[in-house]
Structure 1
Amino acid sequence: MTESSSYITATAEAYDAIAVRYAEFVQGSLDRLPLDRAVLAAFAEFVRTAGAGPVAEVGCGPGYVTAHLRDLGLDAFGVDLSPVMIDLAREAYPDLRFQVGSMDALDLADGELGGIVSWYSVIHTPPQELPPYFAEFRRVLAPGGYLLLGFFESEGGPVVAFDHKVAPAYRWPIDDLAELARKADFVEVGRMLREPQEEERFRRGHLLMRRH
């Protein structure tokens, strides 16, 4: 196993181990997050207006965000590293499609998608390994397709590792993450930062990008 792929295997195994508890923890979480729902709704409106194809949630976990995207009128499906998470998603949402896969090597044709949502999933990728992920997102998005990133923001500091409860993870300055996307031929459409709620530790960042 190479060093660059070991974190992928470790992340999948970590989420396999806590999948049931994690699914219970996030169930209904969007109901308490109006700003997060607003960002997802804006993404959905942009994708519907463009009419460019289906949407993949990459790093979908137990599928609750994929289901929310479906409820927003999108042709949505989910991809995740963790086979146990995918089993839970299929059980919870049997009308939706879920598949095991990695964000850096999606089993999709060039330009197949109208949108991608990465909802707190790129956080587990070491910073030096992240550029190929953006290149893969660009490959599978149709021209004019949209990318929505949700992540933990470093509140003005540099990229910093933190003690995520499941697997090693990183907080990003929103400008730095936007610049990585720009280098992969994405244009920023908008951004949203929100302060942590009472039970949260860190500021949350959201970036909406469009593929050239």
Structure 2
Amino acid sequence: MSEPTYLTITRAAYDTVAVDYAELLSDELAAKPLDRAMLGTFAELVRGAGGGGPVGDLGCGPGRVTVHLDSLGLDAFGVDLSPGMIGEARRRYPGLRFEEGRMAALDLADGSLGGVVAWYSVIHTPPELLPAVFAEFHRVLAPGGHLLVAFQVGDERRHIEEAYGHAGLSYYAYRLRPDHVTELLGRAGIVVDARLVREPVGAEKQQQAFLLARKPEGA
């Protein structure tokens, strides 16, 4: 079976920009205390949920969030669609595990994760396909496991032709409404416990949303 076109073009774009993306965003979290606060709260929740468990940084890119999660005491690993991004992650953080994979078809056992982070990684999935991604998050999370999702706020599709110093690209990103994402997560059996919507920082042009959620015990 051939893969969906959006995956092919997204992979090609991120393979192209991988090296420059990794360099340009390597210390981005340093200027974003609210983002770090959400990651820190997520880490505390995972550690407190029966001793925690492995955490998948799904759509990890070059591993900058994965290594931050590791610094917070989590057993974190990364999965990404782009071989170029995975290569950068392995080069930069050789002590951590990174694997190629798709968020909607993870090579992970049912209930095997104490936590999932999707840090701006669902934004390239067409909104009508997000239910399959969230169902996969539910499948791999252990009962009581936690999820952190980050995305740009809005309701539009953007065609990206230039990014991270590279022209001639062609891929898409979707801005999403927090209420809609909360509803989709709920349909997948994942409960949103908290949300943060903050104003743009630096070069950002729109509000940013962060949802902290969990798979209920017994689910």
What TM bracket, shorter-length normalisation?
over 0.9
Q: Which residue of structure 2 lines up, in the alignment, with residue 160 of structure 1?
A: 156
User: Is 2:203 the partner of 1:204?
Assistant: no
Q: Which residue of structure 1 lines up, in the alignment, with residue 90 of structure 2?
A: 90
- The TM-score with structure 2 as length reference comes to 0.92
Q: Which residue of structure 2 lines up, in the alignment, with residue 46 of structure 1?
A: 45
Residue 143 of structure 2 aligns to a residue whose secondary structure is strand
Q: Which residue of structure 2 lines up, in the alignment, with residue 67 of structure 1?
A: 67
Q: Which residue of structure 2 lines up, in the alignment, with residue 100 of structure 1?
A: 100
Asked if 2 retains the 8 angstrom alpha-carbon contact of 1:52 and 1:142, the reply is no
Runs of 4+ with deviation above 6 angstroms: none
Asked if 2 retains the 8 angstrom alpha-carbon contact of 1:59 and 1:119, the reply is yes
- Please give the alpha-carbon distance, in whole angstroms, between the structure 2 residues aligned to 1:19 and 1:108: 25
Q: CA RMSD for the aligned pairs?
A: 1.2
Residue 60 of structure 1 aligns to a residue whose secondary structure is coil
Residue 98 of structure 2 aligns to a residue whose secondary structure is strand
User: Is 2:117 the partner of 1:117?
Assistant: yes
- Please give the alpha-carbon distance, in whole angstroms, between the structure 2 residues aligned to 1:39 and 1:33: 10
Amino acid at match of 1:189: D
Asked if 1 retains the 8 angstrom alpha-carbon contact of 2:114 and 2:145, the reply is yes
> Where in structure 2 are there 5+ consecutive unaligned residues?
164-168
- 1:78-112 CA deviation, whole Å, 9 max, x = no partner? 00000011011001000000000000011100000
Amino acid at match of 1:110: D
> Where in structure 1 are there 5+ consecutive unaligned residues?
none
Asked if 2 retains the 8 angstrom alpha-carbon contact of 1:58 and 1:80, the reply is yes
Asked if 2 retains the 8 angstrom alpha-carbon contact of 1:57 and 1:77, the reply is yes
Q: Which residue of structure 2 lines up, in the alignment, with residue 129 of structure 1?
A: 129
- Deviation (angstroms), 1:189: 1.2
- Deviation (angstroms), 1:198: 3.3
- 1:97-132 CA deviation, whole Å, 9 max, x = no partner? 000000001110000000000000000000111100
Report 1:183-194 matches (<5 A). 183-194=187-198
Report 1:136-155 matches (<5 A). 136-154=136-154
Amino acid at match of 1:113: L
- The TM-score with structure 1 as length reference comes to 0.95
| Percent of aligned pairs with the same amino acid | 55
* Count of residues in Structure 1 that have an aligned counterpart in Structure 2: 207
- Deviation (angstroms), 1:199: 1.5
